[in-house]
């Protein structure tokens, strides 16, 4: 095999360029903070199992969740990006996650994800998180408003995901109780499949089961209450079999965390 040539272009991701400024994705670590609307529920466990890549095993009670959130993400090498170019740091997101385990180690498999920005979608695909572009909105209650009461017990919050003419997620939480800080749902291991199709016999596919764990997690302003989530039909989604058979609890909270290069390869598929 010939010696590898050093790439003369720079960047954490495509598009590469002479100085690296054109890259769509900024280098990790990435630091996140924002607002989550989270609904914890149970789905049909047999359906959950169908959506998990082997050898992941579903939670025996069919635990799953849906999230609609808004986030601010800054790279470790340029936290001032939030000031220099706010549009490159803020986005909205929707998630459907399935509780599962790998060889007895519990975690979460993100079955479906949608975001409002291309850079978040691209980084997600690096990590095996199946992100698509969509229009995502959630209730925003400002701290000072003439007719809307401040966020708290009694607040009604809603989040929706719309994509290509279809409303695919409709989530709501009615806040009933103030919880302690950090008393929000945890994710554990984040299991995902990095999949890149083959381009030719000499450029093979990549099919890897990996796991990652976010760090520096914290949750404040945690409220719980009655939750609901509905999935809608779309010709480019498969959400309906994962509909709730029981809603456990809804949450609103402000999380923060760090995502870095900590992924671990578990399995390589044919």
User: Domains in the chain and their CATH numbers?
Assistant: 30-268 (2.40.400.10)
Q: Let me know the angle formed at the C-alpha of 67 by 31 and 98, rounded to the nearest 5 degrees.
A: 100
Span 244-260, mean pLDDT? Answer: 98
Q: How confident is the model at residue 214 (pLDDT cuts 50, 70, 90)?
A: very high
Q: Which helix (DSSP H) or strand (DSSP E) does residue 125 occupy?
A: helix 118-126
Residue 59: Cβ within 10 Å count: 18
Check residue 261 and give its pLDDT.
Answer: 86
List all residues 6 or more positions away from 17 whose beta carbon is below 8 Å from its beta carbon: 9, 10, 11, 23
Span 217-226, mean pLDDT? Answer: 99
- Residue 75 reports pLDDT greater than 60: yes
- Residue 2 reports pLDDT greater than 70: no
Query: Which tens digits make up the pLDDT trace of 171-193?
Result: 999 999 999 999 999 999 999 99
Q: What is the mean pLDDT of the chain?
A: 97
Span 243-267, mean pLDDT? Answer: 97
Q: Phi/psi at 27 (nearest 5 deg)? A: -65, 150
Q: How far apart are CA 188 and CA 71, in angstroms?
A: 20
């Amino acid at each position: 095999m010939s010696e590898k040539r050093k790439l003369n272009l720079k960047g954490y991701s495509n598009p590469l360029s002479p100085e690296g400024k054109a890259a769509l994705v900024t280098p990790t670590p990435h630091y996140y903070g924002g607002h989550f609307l989270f609904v914890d529920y149970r789905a049909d466990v047999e359906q959950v199992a169908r959506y998990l890549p082997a050898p992941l095993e579903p939670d025996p009670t069919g635990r799953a969740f849906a999230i609609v959130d808004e986030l601010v993400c800054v790279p470790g090498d340029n936290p001032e990006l939030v000031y220099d170019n706010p549009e490159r740091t803020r986005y909205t997101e929707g998630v459907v996650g399935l509780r599962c385990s790998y060889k007895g180690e519990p975690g979460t498999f993100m079955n479906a994800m949608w975001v409002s920005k291309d850079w978040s979608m691209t980084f997600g695909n690096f990590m095996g998180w199946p992100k698509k572009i969509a229009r995502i909105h959630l209730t925003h209650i400002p701290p000072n408003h003439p007719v809307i009461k401040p966020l708290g017990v009694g607040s009604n919050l809603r989040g929706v995901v719309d994509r290509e003419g279809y409303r695919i997620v409709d989530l709501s939480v009615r806040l009933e109780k103030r919880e302690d800080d950090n008393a929000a749902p945890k994710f554990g291991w984040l299991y995902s499949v990095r999949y890149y199709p083959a381009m030719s016999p000499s450029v093979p596919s990549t099919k890897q089961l990996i796991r990652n764990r976010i760090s520096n997690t914290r949750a404040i302003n945690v409220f719980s209450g009655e939750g609901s989530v509905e999935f809608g039909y779309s010709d480019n989604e498969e959400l309906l079999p994962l509909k709730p058979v029981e809603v456990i609890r809804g949450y609103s909270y402000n999380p923060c965390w760090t995502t870095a290069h900590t992924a671990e390869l578990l399995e390589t598929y044919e």
